[in-house]
Amino acid sequence: MTGRIAAILAAMLLVVTLFPMLAHAGTQWANTSFDRCRNITIKNAGTTNLTNFPAYVNITNNTGMLSGFTDLRFYNMSCGNAGTIMDYEIENYTAANAHIWVRVPTLLTGNTIISVYYKNNTAVGSGENASGVWDANYIAVWHLKENPGGSAPQFKDSTGKGNNGTSVGLVAGDQRQGVVDGAVNFKGAAANISTKMNNSVKGLTQYTVEGWGNVTQVNGVAHLIYEEPINTSANTRVKFGIYTDNRFSLRGRDTDAAAIKLWVVSSVVPVVNTWYYAAGVYDSVSDVHRFMVNSVVTSNATAGVTIANTQPFQLPAIGSRPANSEYWNGTIDEVRISNTARSTDWLNETYQVVANQTSYVTFGSEENNPPIVSLILPGNNSVSNKSIVNFTFNVTRSANLAGCSLMIDGVSSNTTTPAGVNGSMTSVLSPGDHLWYVNCTDIGGFTNRSEQRNISIQIIARILNVTTTNVSVVLNAGTRKTVECNVSVIDTNGTDYILGTNMTFYTPPSTGSSAETNVSKYSNTSCSVTGTGVDVKNYTCTVQLLYYTANGTWICNATSITTTTTANNATNFTVDPLYAINVTSTDIVFGDLGAGQISPNVSINTTNVGNQRINVSIYGYGRVAGDNVGFTCPVTNVSIEYIRFSTLIAAAYDQKTNLSSGPQWLNYSTPAQSGPAIIMQNASYWQASIPLGFPPQGLCNGTVVFQAEAP
């Protein structure tokens, strides 16, 4: 092997140096049966997306991989971001590395990140699916890694279509190092690999033949990588390799009777003992045929038709066939035939990922499978009537658990280190919807998170009812009347969260926020607790209504304060009108009077002790109402007209009004009291006389009745 070959192979077989293990930052470990993962970034050399592209990956045996690489699993997403498992084929492996082909569902322009998971804790079977790597357009794929001296057919077709190859004139020593693992060395006319009739290009409108070749002679003689004969031993349908002009070309026939045609020839003249990637594309649909050598593409417009649908005369062969002297002298690797015209981007990517593996396929740092977190309760979209919520979860792979965090709306709310696989944390949540999940981290710093769930906090914190037994309130004249309203308050967090209740009593136009007047507004800022249940607390709110409280409809408006809200509720009661007076003295004393004498003025004050404007009526009697007697005396009674009154202090006796035994109005009207310091009262002035000739008497008595009446 020359220095040029050795240098190229060294570049191709470089493996990626291990990086320090990193904490996984994703959300879903794709396969929890495996502990480790590395991202693989594949660069697309072209400008189009490639679908189901078989990418070559030379992977180092990282610490933890099984010796036979049976624990590898490839996914189409980066580590920790779930993904779909991908088909792969291990072409071969050593203790140090493995040569692997991976089917990438979509190789995007720019970079595509896939991942490889590995390190199963116990032995595991291989996840390979070689035939799944190669799309339906591949007729045959030969890696040529096998021992040419083994049992026939020695060379396996990786598509699963059975187009296996058989050694002709090859021995075990002809297995050599190739561009990807093993290759076969062809050393003369007697050496080739015969394939199957089914890998013929017969009946196709398009086909692609590709392979890697390293020739030891460039001497004006044709050297074919692949050849397919037609109906006679002398005629050929496909000639793929180096022709007599010392350049790579694709030649052949579309119809069996046609002369052989040059479909396309490359501009590249190969150098001996150097590996070249060659790909020839026949395309009778566009009539533009292409040939790529390494990344250099040449095209040629030549009319072609559908290839004749006849069986080859002999089996197609790799390295030419015995009936033809155009044999390959050198090494061949990775031969493929497709029933489609592979794009230039596809062929160039095929070349680049092999020839420039370390530039086009790069590995990220090793990531560890963190603890696996599964949520238990509350369930997703659950509703809680309490703000204190207990969150439970399960952690597997918890042997080296460092701790877990409860995340509420993206913010850490609580932390814990479960003693076993199950853990719980509590948090106080405000009313409304909240998103929550749990992050768990092991002692190596590797973190994983659970699924995300929603919980709705719907606290029931309100006044259940407000009641009163005082449906119709009759005030007490001149004093107070006790009125009570009862309140029941619920808070589903518990009664400890009910902080207190206050009450306002008012009648319109006053409101609960009006000033305290004792006429239309009262307050109780500390209602008394009368009973406590699990989540209900009962209060009694009392108020002392003064006698001048306005009549009409009153509102008991309760306000209850909890830790989460302030609730209001109300009930009504009625205050009746009250017409009442108070006379400041219960005795009118006229003194000692003789016949023909008139008493001095005696003043009598009447006070409105109700809630209505009043007029005051009076009448008198001696012993019984209506007796027309003013005074009842021991000997002779004094007639009622000798008692007189006036609301004017200056009125003389003869200017005053005679008292009668029927109702008479005092000449004033007294409004209701409008405040605690405003006493509403009026005065009247009284005199009595004794008729002339009235005999001497003793103590004389009579009664004057004062009555409050509506105006």
Do 164 and 273 lie in one domain? The reply is yes
Is there a contact between 326 and 381 (Cβ–Cβ < 8 Å)?
Answer: no
Look-up of token digits 């809200």: 565
The pLDDT of residue 26 is above 80: no
Does residue 496 sit within a domain?
yes
- Please tell me the least confidently modeled range out of 298-307, 361-370, 413-422, 680-689: 413-422
Do 391 and 471 lie in one domain? The reply is no
What is residue 207's predicted lDDT score, i.e. its pLDDT?
A: 98
Do 150 and 266 lie in one domain? The reply is yes
* Strand ranges, E, within 13-109: 34-44, 50-60, 73-75, 85-86, 88-93, 97-107
Domain count, the chain: 5
Q: How far apart are the first and last CA of the chain?
A: 134
Residue range 483-499: average pLDDT? Answer: 93
The pLDDT of residue 466 is above 80: yes
Residue range 463-486: average pLDDT? Answer: 93
Do 119 and 154 lie in one domain? The reply is no
Tens digit of each residue's pLDDT (9 = 90 or more) over 563-617: 888 999 999 999 999 999 999 888 899 999 999 999 999 999 999 999 999 999 9
Do 44 and 159 lie in one domain? The reply is no
Tens digit of each residue's pLDDT (9 = 90 or more) over 137-188: 999 999 999 999 999 999 999 999 999 999 999 999 999 999 999 999 998 7
Is there a contact between 252 and 260 (Cβ–Cβ < 8 Å)?
Answer: yes
Tens digit of each residue's pLDDT (9 = 90 or more) over 623-636: 999 999 999 999 89
Residue 47 burial class via C-beta count within 10 angstroms: exposed 0-12, middle 13-18, buried 19 and up: exposed
Instruction: Identify which has the larger pLDDT, 64 or 533.
Output: 533
The model's confidence at residue 643, banded by pLDDT at 50, 70 and 90, is: very high
Do 57 and 176 lie in one domain? The reply is no
Do 178 and 316 lie in one domain? The reply is yes
Do 156 and 296 lie in one domain? The reply is yes
The model's confidence at residue 12, banded by pLDDT at 50, 70 and 90, is: very low
What is residue 234's predicted lDDT score, i.e. its pLDDT?
A: 63
What is residue 25's predicted lDDT score, i.e. its pLDDT?
A: 44
Secondary structure of residue 8 in the 3-state scheme: helix
Tens digit of each residue's pLDDT (9 = 90 or more) over 347-384: 999 999 999 999 999 999 988 877 788 999 999 999 99
The residue among 450, 478, 503 that closes a domain is 450
Residues 6+ apart with CB under 8 A from 397: 32, 369, 370, 371, 372, 442
What is residue 244's predicted lDDT score, i.e. its pLDDT?
A: 93
Does residue 344 sit within a domain?
no
What is residue 183's predicted lDDT score, i.e. its pLDDT?
A: 97
Average pLDDT, the chain: 90
Residue range 68-90: average pLDDT? Answer: 94
CATH code of residue 558: 2.60.40.10
User: Which domain range does residue 469 map to?
Assistant: 461-575
The pLDDT of residue 121 is above 80: no
Is there a contact between 605 and 649 (Cβ–Cβ < 8 Å)?
Answer: no
The pLDDT of residue 447 is above 90: no
Do 546 and 651 lie in one domain? The reply is no
Do 310 and 171 lie in one domain? The reply is yes
Tens digit of each residue's pLDDT (9 = 90 or more) over 305-348: 999 998 888 889 999 766 667 889 999 999 999 999 999 999 99
* Strand ranges, E, within 326-400: 329-338, 361-363, 367-368, 372-377, 382-384, 388-396
Can you tell me the distance from the alpha carbon of 210 to that of 576, in angstroms, rounded to the nearest whole number?
A: 109
Does residue 222 sit within a domain?
yes
Does residue 50 sit within a domain?
yes
Does residue 335 sit within a domain?
no
Beta strand 566-575 with 472-473: parallel, antiparallel or unpaired?
parallel
**Which tokens is 514 given?**
């009006």
Can you tell me the distance from the alpha carbon of 680 to that of 576, in angstroms, rounded to the nearest whole number?
A: 20
Residue range 61-83: average pLDDT? Answer: 89
Is there a contact between 184 and 331 (Cβ–Cβ < 8 Å)?
Answer: yes
Does residue 352 sit within a domain?
no
The pLDDT of residue 10 is above 60: no
Does residue 354 sit within a domain?
no
The CA R_g of the chain, rounded to the nearest whole Å, is 56
* Secondary structure string (H, E, C) spanning 281-301: EEECCCCEEEEEECCEEEEEE
Can you tell me the distance from the alpha carbon of 163 to that of 138, in angstroms, rounded to the nearest whole number?
A: 11
CATH code of residue 648: 2.60.40
Do 677 and 561 lie in one domain? The reply is no
Instruction: Identify which has the larger pLDDT, 421 or 304.
Output: 304
The residue among 406, 426, 450 that closes a domain is 450
What is residue 231's predicted lDDT score, i.e. its pLDDT?
A: 66
Can you tell me the distance from the alpha carbon of 153 to that of 163, in angstroms, rounded to the nearest whole number?
A: 10
The pLDDT of residue 444 is above 50: yes
Does residue 586 sit within a domain?
yes
Tens digit of each residue's pLDDT (9 = 90 or more) over 532-549: 999 999 999 999 999 999
Nearest Cα to Cα of residue 240 among 273, 271, 205, 277: 277
Do 693 and 589 lie in one domain? The reply is yes
The model's confidence at residue 15, banded by pLDDT at 50, 70 and 90, is: very low
The residue among 367, 382, 403 that closes a domain is 367
Percent of the chain beyond pLDDT 70?
94
Residues 6+ apart with CB under 8 A from 390: 377, 424, 425, 426
- Where on the phi/psi map is residue 144: left (φ > 0), alpha (ψ -120 to 50), or beta? left
**Which tokens is 2 given?**
């020359």
